[in-house]
Structure 1
């Protein structure tokens, strides 16, 4: 659960072995080297933080878990694309950004299974918190469409899994990717049980995420978008984040928090123009843990981040915050 005392369970780090097999081709920003950089940065740091973080083997996921979020036609389209890719030994473009290779669904479903395993273990008290290095990312995938590098929406599937299997009534999804998570927002836009809170660069891909998008029907008031301008300073970004997080927690009492962590908010990312550093992400993660309700589970999942070395440093910073370890220790 949120916070890590002296006798708390360890923090879990998950990375599915199939996640690195998703091949997007030469020159694509969402390439296999991203995950290798994350695994290298975390692996080198595990000994330094005294066993407070452990690597955990992911479990399995069933189609029914995915179909609580995605349509059957969506899965059929993805499987057909994989079949063509396999039979013709080529990459298949779902759209100009989103590529499918023979192992893409193994990677996507494996990553989702890792996230579901993580939230199950955090909710059950086996882990205090967890970080899941998912690939490909997920927050742009809608119920019936793959887009923006994303095939399935890992965080949405995990939220539904918690609600169905753990009787979790209220889930907060925090999205700090440089791009707005249009898929996650769309999936829960009319849902009163899942709150979606996003800070993102504006204007930017995919074009959604205005302040006026607040949800509809039962979900009215359950979406909070905070667009920020390019080159917003880290200090201003963090102030905006925490001010709005306080508003969210003042109106919504989550039983579980899922963080869609995009490391493309960091200075120098080729697909973003924001200014955060690893220490800022360490600070924000620690503040989420500090401000979360006492019995609230917290799990982080990887979204964007397209400078592999910087992404690895950012993930290491977030993991250290989850484990209540100083960044410079």
Structure 2
């Protein structure tokens, strides 16, 4: 079944330039934007307008001092706010617009103006913490959007799935003590940023609402399919979110220069399909993806397009491949460890 899928993009995102030799380059989006400019793609997706967020919206998730620190870089030729995160004259503008794209995507699916949405933004966001930049990220786009949904749209339960290679420390931190967000992360571990251990499960009202699946590296489509089939699906069905948000990183792609995972287009399409089915059954189809990492330009583009095809209802993944991943089996120690941890709080088969 075809669905109304919104794609949020802007040339402003290309204006953020962290400097020579940096892997998070404007070219990450150039090929994607070129592909999405083709007439058949313009007919296939919605391309809504959107605005940058204001300071008050950023302050739903970030300290005023942090916002001011990033804002002070506007117009400056080149500044580094931490060892990995540098800015150019329009980086603050791009970062505000990236958060604005995530917020607009949530507004669209919540209002029923789109069924699904993908915010193709940069700079990425999931490492940005309440009061500091980190790991190429200035503001935490997905956390700002989730805060907006909770505080301004009246939602009470949001599932955030982070499949980026690196653990989303900033997003985990933002919702670690609340049951209004179930944060589920697959990531290479131990690896940057050093967080995301099995034992990190939340605190206070949030205990049990952070589920981490730390992976050694080398996991392929079948491994991620098993994690989604056997752990994420029963968690989501019990939590019954009103909105599903995804930190969609493509540095788990086989061949990415920063990681050792072995995911392919089929894996991304399959994971997107699982999330789409969960969204259809639990929250009126509301599914929003926000771009995070992915540093091999060609393969990242293929991964994003695989997700967009699945979101649009094109079902490009062959039936045989879909069945194989739905029935994936085999030893996966990380899944067994994560399952035992989750069982302390949830009813998980197996």
SS in structure 2 of the partner of residue 81 of structure 1: coil
Query: Is 1:271 the counterpart of 2:289 in the alignment?
Result: no
Superposition RMSD on alpha carbons, in Å?
1.7
TM-score normalised to the size of structure 1? 0.92
Q: Within 2, Cα distance between the matches of 1:41 and 1:312?
A: 9
Q: Within 2, Cα distance between the matches of 1:79 and 1:120?
A: 25
Contact kept? 1:16, 1:107, Cα under 8 Å: no
Q: Within 2, Cα distance between the matches of 1:21 and 1:181?
A: 24
Deviations 1:150-185 (A, max 9, x none): 000000000011112211111110000000000000
- Where does residue 307 of structure 1 map in the other structure? 296
Contact kept? 2:237, 2:278, Cα under 8 Å: no
Query: Alpha-carbon deviation of 1:321?
Result: 0.5
Query: Alpha-carbon deviation of 1:202?
Result: 1.3
Query: Alpha-carbon deviation of 1:296?
Result: 4.7
Contact kept? 1:42, 1:312, Cα under 8 Å: no
- Pairing of 1:18-29 with structure 2 (within 5 A): 18-29=12-23
Match of 1:140 among 105, 108, 127: 127
Query: Alpha-carbon deviation of 1:273?
Result: 0.8
Q: Within 2, Cα distance between the matches of 1:16 and 1:51?
A: 18
Q: Within 1, Cα distance between the matches of 2:272 and 2:81?
A: 34
Query: Alpha-carbon deviation of 1:328?
Result: 6.7
Q: What is the aligned residue count?
A: 316
Match of 1:298 among 265, 271, 287: 287
Larger CA deviation: 105-114 vs 72-81 = 72-81
Contact kept? 1:39, 1:312, Cα under 8 Å: no
Query: Is 1:92 the counterpart of 2:88 in the alignment?
Result: no
Query: Alpha-carbon deviation of 1:134?
Result: 1.4
- Where does residue 75 of structure 1 map in the other structure? 67
Query: Is 1:110 the counterpart of 2:97 in the alignment?
Result: yes
The higher relative CO (CA closer than 8 Å, separation ≥ 6) is in 1
Q: Within 2, Cα distance between the matches of 1:205 and 1:158?
A: 24
Match of 1:317 among 299, 306, 323: 306
- Where does residue 201 of structure 1 map in the other structure? 188
Match of 2:58 among 54, 62, 66: 66
Q: Within 2, Cα distance between the matches of 1:77 and 1:61?
A: 16
Query: Alpha-carbon deviation of 1:320?
Result: 0.5
